[in-house]
Each structure stands twice: as C-alpha cells, then as structure tokens.
Structure 1
Amino acid sequence: MGDPAGIGPEITVGALNKKELYDVANPVVIGHGDMLEKMLPVMKADLTINRITTVDEAMFEYGTIDVIHLDNLNVAEVKMGTVQAQCGKAAFEYIRHAVQLANDKKVDALATTPINKESLKAAEVPYIGHTEMLADLTKTEDPLTMFEVHSMRIFFLTRHLSLKDAIDQMTKERVHDYLLRCDKALEKLGVKERRFAVAGLNPHSGENGLFGREEMDEITPGIELAKKDGINAVGPVPADSVFHHALNGRYDAVLSLYHDQGHIAAKMTDFERTISITNGLPFLRTSVDHGTAFDIAGKGIASTVSMEECIKLAAKYAPHFVTA
C-alpha cells in the first residue's frame, strides 16, 4: 500500500476499481484496511474492503479489495501529505510482509506503491528506499533496474551518482558485466530474442575521439567482450537516436549509461506508463516510477494509470518468470 500519508492508498483503490485488472491478475493488497476504506469515498469507489490474514482467504473478485490487514497504524492520527514516523514504519512493515509472502511462494509478484525517504528516516528504518530494502531482505547484491514503457526496455549502467562519478564507473569491465546481467534478466522474464544497444555517452558517440574518448577506450571494448560471450549487442549508438530505434522495435533493450539519460527517454515517451522492474531478486517486482506526491495526497486527483500499468506488467511477466 505504500506510505499511508502519500498517494499509495488512493491509487491502490483507484486501480482496483478497474475490472480489467481482475481479468489478468488476482490482486491482494498488503496494508491497512481502515486506510483503504477511508480512500473509497475519496476515489468515488463503490467497493468492499475484505480484511484477511492470509492469501488463502482472498476472494479475488472485482468489487472487493482483498487486503492482508496489518494492524500497525493509528489511522485517526495520519495526516495526509506529511512526514510521519508511524507511516514510515508501517510502509516498511508492508514491504517486509510482502517479501515474506513472495519468498514463501504465496504470491507470484510484487507491485509496489511509493514510500517516502523522510518518513522512513523518522521511523529509524535503516533503508533509503525500496531497492535497498528488497536487496537486504532477500540477500541480493546490486539489484538490476529495468524500465519498461510501451515496447521499450531500458537498463542502467549506473544509478544515483553525479555525472562525473558515473563517467568514472563506465569501464569496459562494467559494460561487459552489465550486458551479461541484462541478458540474463530478460531471459528470466521470458524474452526469447534479446538484442541490446548500448547508448553513447558523448555527442555522436564521440566521433572516434573527436568529442571524447570514453566510447573508444571503455564502452566499445566492453561491448566487444560481451559479444565474445554470445551477447547480441551493438553500439555505442548515439543517445539522441538509440531510444527512438528501441521504441520502434530495432532493439529489445537499451543499456543507458547514467540515470537521467534513460529516465528522460522513458518519461518523455509516456511518464505515467513508465514502470520499473527490479531484476536479480528471487521474485518478480514491478513498481510505479513516481513518488508519494504529498502535495496532492488524499485529494483523489492522483492518476492511477501508473499503478494500473504496474499491476498489468507484473501479470504479464509472472507466468514466464524463472526463479532459478
């Protein structure tokens, strides 16, 4: 359900007010039944909240939201759109419980809603976000993030670093390793043909050293090492065209070199339908790619499109996901 003071509860209710989601998935919420019930009139949803303790008790029927109710929240004291320790603690406990269900094979995938870093800190939860929590709770090293929007998939060679520090990590060894990992990730998702393009760093991918040597010295050698290991990869392809080609089917995925390079491409394509998949975990996890939106939380105006797409994408890949 995410942070109770954010838009997580309302977009959960709004998404599960769409019958088509029940045509592709059996959704069950991990959260607080009273908080979801509070959002029913906000979202103008004529639904029933079914509080349960195990997945086996779920009805999985449109018109009813099955929620594994964790009684860990004083709903009367929740102030929408504000940082609160009880909300950070509750959000973490929802995630921890969901991970346990996934590890026990009680659910096929997790679709996560936003949590708030400041609320986690106020609750003294020792994680900065979902990825760090999931990595630690599952003992996974360096989870691999992938965005999917329409027909385009994007992986990221580096994440939250300054651009200067990110460039320092663009070594041939890292490019090689990540292409191997990206190929394995798509294989686990059931993608048979896997054609990769690596984005260029400099304008026109450096023009053979005219605009920078990173492509010549590190990126191209890394691609060549991956090709020797059987990876179908090309590049570096200039970043001003590679995402367009991927969107139009030339490549099955793009390896973006730094955070904003891939984020801008995905969100300009369709902000609300950009969904994040965390690869490398022992289960499938999809996530909305937006925050708790404290400024509009509880007002019923947050779009539910990203949450709907998040659930649909989990349902799309769950039957093909390989855990071994």
Structure 2
Amino acid sequence: MGDPAGIGPEIICRALKAMSSAERASAIVVGDPAIYRRAAASVDAELMFVPLDQPSSGDHCVAISVVDVPVGADIPDGQISAGAGDMAFRCVQAAVNLVQSGRAQVIVTAPLNKAALHEAGHHYDGHTGMLAALTGALSSFMLLASETLSTLHVSTHVSLREAIDRVTPERIVATVEAGNAHLVALGLSAPRIAVAGLNPHCGEGGIFGDEDSRCIAPAVDQLRQRGFDVSGPISADTVFYRASKGEFDLVVAQYHDQGHIPVKLIAFDTTVNVSLGLPLQRTSVDHGTAFDIAWQGKADATNMGSAIAYARRLASGGHS
C-alpha cells in the first residue's frame, strides 16, 4: 500500500479496476481493507476485499485477496505522520513474508514517505534499503527501466559527497554484474551496457578529477576482459542520449540524479523502479506520495500499471 496518507491506495485500486479478471485473480494486496474500500469508492471501482484464501461472493463487486495490515493510529490524509510511516513499513514486512513463504513471486510497492518512515522509527533510505535489511542482502541496486532508456545506479539515496566516495571499481563491477544478469533473465543474450563518467568530460585527463581514470576505467577494463559488452567511462552529457537512440541497453549511472533526471524526463509516466541484488523481486512506481492530491480521486495510475506489468514479466521469467 505504501503510505496510506498518499496516493498509493488510490492508484492500486485504479490499477485493479483496469485489470482483466484473470489478472485480478492472481493479485494480492497488502494493507488495511477499510482503506482499500475507501480508495475504491473514491475512484469508482467496484471492488471487494476479502482475506487471502477465503472464498467470496458478490453480485457487482470483484473480489481481491488482501493480507490485512491494520491501521495502528489515526492517519490524516495528505500529511506526514508516524502512524502512516509505521503502516507502510508493516506492509512491506508482510509482503516480504508472502514472497519468502512462496505465496507470491514479485512485490510491487506503492510510494512511501521517508520522513514519515523515519518519524515512526524506521530509519531506512527507502524501499530498497528496507528490503535489503529485511532479507539480509549485503547490497542492492536501483534500476529505472523504460522502453526508451534504462539506468542502473552505483549509489542512490546518499549525499552527493558520499556518492563520490562510493565510486569504486568494486561497486561499479558489482553494479554492471547485477544489471547484466537482470537483462539476461529478461531474454537479452548479450546486453550492451554503458558506464557513465562521474566528472565533466570524464575528468578531461585528470583536469576535472581523477575518479574516471582511477576507478571507472579499470572496472570497465576488468569487465571487458571477462566478456561483458561494456563501454566507458562515457561522458554523462552524451551517454544517455546515445542510449535513448538504441546504442545501449542499459546505462550505469554513478549517482541518483545523474540517472534519474534523464529517465524521468524521457519516460516519467512509464518508468518502473526495480530492485536488483535482493533475494526477491520487487518493482515500484517512480514517483512519490503526492500528498497535495491524495484522496481527491484524481491520482493517475499509469505508472502503477507499468510497475505491475513489469512484475508480471519478471514472474513469467522475462516473457511479455
């Protein structure tokens, strides 16, 4: 459900409304059924939420299986609150349990609010860090995937200063390995991967910094020697354009905004956030909780639909 004070419940119900009956039958939602019923009414969706494994009936409603994560406190609409942050965390916990128990194959997350999460005492940088902690993963990677441009990030939710420190040969190699494995699983036999430079003009021979020659280039050389189709470092002011024109299947960005800005500029409504490097599969929308329009019945579910479609592709072993 994500943060129940945001647009998560609404976009989930809009997406459910747009599904075929077979797709709805294979979906499980996680969260408080009362919140889902309210969200369904706000988007004019005739949906009925019933406990997982419990038979249901209804003349006009469509039954959706739900794992009940009850509201633990009053949650004001469109506002940061500890109660909302705690519920968002408990929903993720429940979803992880579903996958680990074999009841589900892929998790799709609606947006949460990091301030609310921290206010509730859950000090994570977002869904990806939370999922890594809950599953015991040593590292994880954020992929933004779209039909036009896809980027995988060496670092994400850290300061720019810390992001620079994370540009190491070891991290770059691990990022490329994770991206290559994901694309192979989706059916690409030899993914073409570009690694973006960190500094302007990739440091211009050390004039603008030596990270590109000292850290990125050796990692790329090592990967190429191992048989990866990887190029770089390539100046960030051209690599995303080249990828968007079909030259590369994936760009490895060195930090959050370097990768997020071009992808969201090109395909904001259809880009899917995918977590790699975890012992489970997870997709998500690439937008926030939109408190300013929450619970007004007008949130757009296009991105949620894309996240669900990508999740179904992962669940089917990469087949569209």
Structure 1 gaps, min length 5: none
Aligned partners of 2:101, 2:187: CA distance in 1, in Å? 22
Alignment correspondent of 2:49: 50
Q: Deviations over 1:216-242 (max 9, x none)?
A: 222112100111122110111221221
Of 109-118 and 159-168, deviating more is 159-168
Asked if the contact 1:84/1:119 (under 8 Å) is kept, the reply is yes
After superposition, residues 120-199 of structure 1 pair within 5 angstroms as 120-199=117-196
Task: Report the CA distance shift for 1:25/1:262 in structure 2 as closer, same or farther (over 3 A).
Answer: farther
1:57, distance to aligned residue in structure 2 (A):
5.3
1:15 aligns with 2:47: no
Task: Report the CA distance shift for 1:171/1:91 in structure 2 as closer, same or farther (over 3 A).
Answer: closer
Alignment correspondent of 2:33: 33
Task: Report the CA distance shift for 1:74/1:134 in structure 2 as closer, same or farther (over 3 A).
Answer: closer
Task: Report the CA distance shift for 1:125/1:258 in structure 2 as closer, same or farther (over 3 A).
Answer: closer
Matched residue of 2:289: which SS? coil
Aligned partners of 2:248, 2:171: CA distance in 1, in Å? 21
Task: Report the CA distance shift for 1:116/1:285 in structure 2 as closer, same or farther (over 3 A).
Answer: same
Aligned partners of 1:284, 1:25: CA distance in 2, in Å? 20
1:111, distance to aligned residue in structure 2 (A):
0.6
Given residue 30 of structure 1, which amino acid in structure 2 is its aligned partner? V
Asked if the contact 1:200/1:237 (under 8 Å) is kept, the reply is yes
Task: Report the CA distance shift for 1:162/1:120 in structure 2 as closer, same or farther (over 3 A).
Answer: closer
Aligned partners of 1:306, 1:32: CA distance in 2, in Å? 22
Aligned partners of 2:185, 2:55: CA distance in 1, in Å? 30
Asked if the contact 2:36/2:49 (under 8 Å) is kept, the reply is no
Q: Deviations over 1:181-216 (max 9, x none)?
A: 332333344432211101122333334345443322
Asked if the contact 2:148/2:266 (under 8 Å) is kept, the reply is no
Alignment correspondent of 2:244: 247
1:219 to 208, 216, 220: 216
Aligned partners of 2:55, 2:136: CA distance in 1, in Å? 29
Of 117-126 and 97-106, deviating more is 117-126
Q: Deviations over 1:44-86 (max 9, x none)?
A: 22x12131134x8589xx96251424151268x4321122333
Matched residue of 1:137: which SS? helix
Alignment correspondent of 2:66: 68
Matched residue of 1:277: which SS? strand
Aligned partners of 2:157, 2:19: CA distance in 1, in Å? 37
Query: TM-score, normalised to structure 1's length?
Result: 0.88
Task: Report the CA distance shift for 1:271/1:22 in structure 2 as closer, same or farther (over 3 A).
Answer: farther
Q: Matched residue pairs, number?
A: 316
Q: Deviations over 1:296-316 (max 9, x none)?
A: 110112211111111011112
Q: Deviations over 1:20-65 (max 9, x none)?
A: 59559822211111111112232122x12131134x8589xx9625
Of 20-29 and 185-194, deviating more is 20-29
1:299 aligns with 2:296: yes
Alignment correspondent of 1:310: 307
Given residue 4 of structure 1, which amino acid in structure 2 is its aligned partner? P
Structure 1: 4+ residue segments shifted above 6 A:
none
Q: Percent identity?
A: 35
Q: Deviations over 1:117-169 (max 9, x none)?
A: 23223333353421222112111111111110224221111222333332233
Query: TM-score, normalised to structure 2's length?
Result: 0.89
